[in-house]
Amino acid sequence: MNEINPFEGNTRRRRRQGIAWRFVFQASTIVGIIVLTALLYNVINESFGLAALELEIDPASLAVDGVALEELSQEQLAQIFQANVSAGLYRRYATEKPFTERTREEVYDLVQERVIRPQLVKTWTLFETLFERDAIEAELAEKYPGARLQFFSWLNPEFVQRPQSSDPLRAGVRTAILGSLWVIAITVIFAFPIATGAAIYLEEYAPETRLTRLIQTNINSLAGVPSIIYGILGLAIFVRFMQPITSGAVFGLVDDPTTANGRTIIAAGLTLGLLIMPIIIINAQEAIKAVPNSLRNASYGLGATQWETIWSHVLPNSIAGILTGTILAVSRAVGETAPLVVIGASTFITFDPDGPFSKFTTLPIQIFQWTSRPQAEFRNIAAAAIIALLLLLLALNAAAVLLRNRYSHRY
Amino acid sequence: MDERLVDSSDRVVSLTETPDMVAHDQPGSRTETNGAPQERTLETRDLRVYYGDFLAIRDVDLDFLSRKITAIIGPSGCGKTTLLRSLNRMNELVPIARTEGHVMFQGQDIYAEHVDPVEVRRRIGMVFQKPNPFPKSIYENIAWGARIHGYKGELDALVEESLKRAALWEEVKDKLDQSGYSLSGGQQQRLCIARAIAVRPEVILMDEPCSALDPVATFRIEELMRELASIYTIVIVTHNMQQAARVSDFTAMMMLGEDKAGEMIEYDETNTIFTRPADPRTEDYVTGRFG
Ligand SMILES: Nc1ncnc2c1ncn2[C@@H]1O[C@H](COP(=O)(O)OP(=O)(O)OP(=O)(O)O)[C@@H](O)[C@H]1O
Ligand SMILES: [Mg+2]
């Protein structure tokens, strides 16, 4: 090689540079995975584990003629109940609903609750359960000699089906899940049509004027406003100003409007609707922008009107993106807590919401409320509720993926 | 006269006529040269198009004769597409575009106030440079246009007839429910032509319809254009000189003026343009000497 090569032989250095960057990106990914694992570990660790229960009466002692408590008939259970509680308490339950009318399961639950009266005295995490079993048993023998050890999966089918209760053993998230679903339904019904309509207008109709740009800038900034500010807005508009409507009083739906005071599902749904509306608008605009102009040209070239073009071509080809964007925004709304605290979600209700004008609580509110309790057991059910919330979010994301695959087109 | 663009029942061309394969008849029936009056479907008068402040084409006066193929040629950026799109008011879809002057379609100005651009575009159809079928089935690609225009006849028959006319029927008759995208580029372009003729326009504007196609597909589309010319007035923009020479009856030559505005510098029978052009710039361009 006699001729002079004008390029310095630098491939080795360039390759090394590339490898260094690769490590940086790999490290970022690993950090992300670690954080996610820590989160899951934390939640799962609290959701399962041993617990020490103290019982008022050993259920074995309640057996009748060698038949265990679980096997007894409705009448026998009723007799046991009557024999073991005070006369006043028995009368109270009997007037509430005569024992002859109660099912076997109801009476059995009453015996559990009032006669056996299990009390959680201590709970352990899954980690402790698995690896420090000896220490747990030593502690149990020393501090709670009468207690029995039982493994709990705090997340279980009954947990999802039971209403809220002040007893962690009996508390469930049904009230909160139903509340979340009701609120989200209102949110979607309110925000989706308006936001999609606005996106269509801005993308397909609005002239390129300074006013349009101003509106666009505003929408973009609204998407970044902290959610608690939407809570304050919702409190002012939906809870206070529109109280006669949001409490259902004007519709005559609520006998006693003071119970909810406008702090109802509909007020919460509308507030969250405001919160995610700019996000849906922006996502829908992106989806509409992604429809190639060649398609619009083809349609107009055939003599289609603007509306025919939008309805038959722009929307069918952007609906997957619009729906995905909406679902992702809704996922955000499902997890919102702060604005609902501001507008006054109930922290403790035991009855299911029965319509847009009832009081409500939602999953994140419930979790927030449980984690702020001093008793350790509530941390366990809070963790179980977190898993329920995560599953709900996972389901929503899966729906988004399915919709995208179902409706996606290539051009 | 005024109602013509609004009332589509006033049909000049009936699609029930069978298209007889016409041999490339020697152009020579032009008004000026022959004295025998020839029907002019489209005429532009002082047509100017601006994009914002930028004048893209200046003062174009062109006559497009009925059932003839007119080619528009010229270097890139001289405003051929702009001119074509102003013939059926597609340019209006560009927000900054502004059109001045007149385009007379069968004696009526399509830019007149009461004229509905939607009706203009149905009667003056368009085929684009890049094949752009709808992401729908082949059948639906063709039926959709007819349906929005309230077609009362048998849709299946219309689809078949349009595909046959676009020389695509044999290739797709067994897969009408498949996506238009499952076709090859050349087939897609013929599908777009079929889609355009399904709404029974009177004029078809084609913007470099073969630029994305191989010679075989190009040949088929040229053949198709000759067939369609028996019932339609066709305007085609092309960069392919052989194509212009092969397929068109008349040719308009455009060029960039001093101020970067496009101008029509020569218009004549295709034969004349390619053998004895009046303007030396045309001669340079068609013989490939143009820079
Ligand atoms: N949408 C638009 N906005 C602004 N300027 C445009 C637009 N479309 C075209 N122009 C300008 O108008 C002039 C003519 O463009 P046009 O597309 O008509 O050229 P053309 O002759 O079709 O070119 P080509 O042969 O490359 O397709 C060019 O200078 C171009 O930059
Ligand atoms: Mg062009």
CATH assignment at residue A207: 1.10.3720.10
DSSP B77: T
- Our measurement of the distance from residue A397's CA atom to the centroid of its chain's CA atoms, rounded to an integer in Å, reads 13
Confidence of residue B3 (pLDDT cuts 50, 70, 90): very low
* pLDDT of B16 above 50: no
For an interface test with A, give the residue of B81, B141, B148, B195 to mutate (most A CBs within 10 A): B148
Alpha helix stretches (DSSP H) within B113-253:
117-123, 138-148, 155-165, 169-172, 185-198, 215-228, 241-247
Distance CA B56, CA B50 (A): 5
Count of CB atoms situated within 10 Å of the CB of B41: 24
- Which class for B57: exposed (0-12), middle (13-18), buried (19 or more C-beta within 10 A)? buried
Instruction: Tell me if residue B261 falls in helix, strand or coil.
Output: coil
Q: Which domain, by its residues, includes A370?
A: 174-410
Looking at residue A392, its amino acid is L
Instruction: Tell me if residue B104 falls in helix, strand or coil.
Output: strand
Expressed in angstroms and rounded, the spacing between residue B207 Cα and the centre of ligand 2 is 7
Domain residue spans in chain B?
Answer: 33-286
User: How many angstroms separate the Cα of A249 from the Cα of each of A186, A252, A263, A358, B142?
Assistant: 18, 5, 12, 11, 55
Beta carbons of B101 and B46 less than 8 angstroms apart: yes
HSE at residue A165, side-chain half, CA atoms within 13 A, is 15
* pLDDT of B82 above 90: yes
pTM confidence score? 0.82
A157-197 residue pLDDT tens:
888 888 888 888 888 899 899 999 999 999 999 999 999 99
In a domain, A69, yes or no: no
The ligand placed nearest to the CA atom of residue B53 is 1
Mean pLDDT of chain B: 85
Distance CA A129, CA A115 (A): 29
- Quote the crossing angle between the two packed helices A363-371 and A174-200, to the nearest 10°: 130
Across A366-398, b (16+ Cβ under 10 Å) vs e yields: bbbbbeeeeeebbbbbbbbbbbbbeebbeeeee
Confidence of residue A255 (pLDDT cuts 50, 70, 90): low
Query: Residue with the nearest Cα to atom 25 of ligand 1?
Result: B76
- The DSSP-derived string for A257-321 is TTTTTT-SHHHHHHHHHHHHHHHHHHHHHHHHHTS-HHHHHHHHHTT--HHHHIIIIIHHHHHHH
CB contact under 8 A, B144 and A297: no
Distance CA B223, CA B233 (A): 15
Expressed in angstroms and rounded, the spacing between residue B110 Cα and the centre of ligand 1 is 22
Kindly give the number of the ligand 1 atom that is closest to the alpha carbon of B262: 14
Confidence of residue B289 (pLDDT cuts 50, 70, 90): confident
In a domain, A257, yes or no: yes
User: How many angstroms separate the Cα of A220 from the Cα of each of A214, A275, A290, B62?
Assistant: 10, 12, 18, 48
Confidence of residue A260 (pLDDT cuts 50, 70, 90): low
Residues with CB in 5 Å of ion ligand 2: B 81
What is the pLDDT at residue B17? 36
Sequence-distant contacts of A74-80: CB under 8 A, at least 24 apart: A74/A102, A74/A103, A74/A104, A74/A107, A77/A104, A77/A107, A77/A108, A77/A111, A78/A102, A78/A107, A80/A111, A80/A115
- B84: which chain A residues are within 8 Å (Cβ-Cβ)? none
Closest to A129 measured CA to CA, from A40, A44, A39: A44
As given in the structure block, the two tokens for residue A135 are 């220490």
Distance CA A194, CA A306 (A): 20
For an interface test with B, give the residue of A302, A307, A407 to mutate (most B CBs within 10 A): A302
In a domain, A307, yes or no: yes
Distance CA A332, CA A24 (A): 30
Q: Tell me which H or E stretch contains A181.
A: helix A174-200
What is the pLDDT at residue A118? 82
User: How many angstroms separate the Cα of A271 from the Cα of each of A88, A325, B56, B76, B160?
Assistant: 47, 19, 51, 55, 54
Report the CATH number of the B33-286 domain. Answer: 3.40.50.300
Pocket test for ligand 1, best of B51, B93, B99 (most atoms within 8 A of CB): B51
CB contact under 8 A, B148 and A207: no
In a domain, A343, yes or no: yes
- Whether B78 is in the pocket of ligand 1, judged by its Cβ within 6 Å, is yes
Taking residues B210-215, report their average pLDDT: 83
Please name the residue that has the structure tokens 């584990």.
A49
Distance CA A172, CA A164 (A): 5
A204-216 residue pLDDT tens:
999 889 999 999 9
CB contact under 8 A, B132 and A294: yes
- Which class for A156: exposed (0-12), middle (13-18), buried (19 or more C-beta within 10 A)? middle
Beta carbons of B68 and B249 less than 8 angstroms apart: yes
CB contact under 8 A, A303 and B121: yes
CA-based diameter of chain A, in Å? Answer: 113
What is the pLDDT at residue B13? 36
* pLDDT of B103 above 60: yes
Closest to A159 measured CA to CA, from A147, A146, A145, A175: A175
Confidence of residue B147 (pLDDT cuts 50, 70, 90): very high
A352-364 residue pLDDT tens:
888 888 888 899 9
What is the pLDDT at residue B5? 52
Taking residues B145-161, report their average pLDDT: 93
Cα-flanking dihedrals φ and ψ of residue B278, to 5°? Answer: -80, -35
In a domain, A239, yes or no: yes
Count of CB atoms situated within 10 Å of the CB of B118: 17
Count of CB atoms situated within 10 Å of the CB of B71: 26
Mean pLDDT of chain A: 88
Closest to B186 measured CA to CA, from B217, B211, B164, B209: B217
Pocket test for ligand 1, best of B48, B73, B80 (most atoms within 8 A of CB): B80
Number of domains in chain A: 1
What is the pLDDT at residue B204? 95
ipTM value, please give it: 0.85
- Our measurement of the distance from residue A343's CA atom to the centroid of its chain's CA atoms, rounded to an integer in Å, reads 18
What is the pLDDT at residue B290? 61
The backbone region for A187, taken as left when phi is positive above 0, alpha when psi lies in -120 to 50, beta otherwise, is alpha
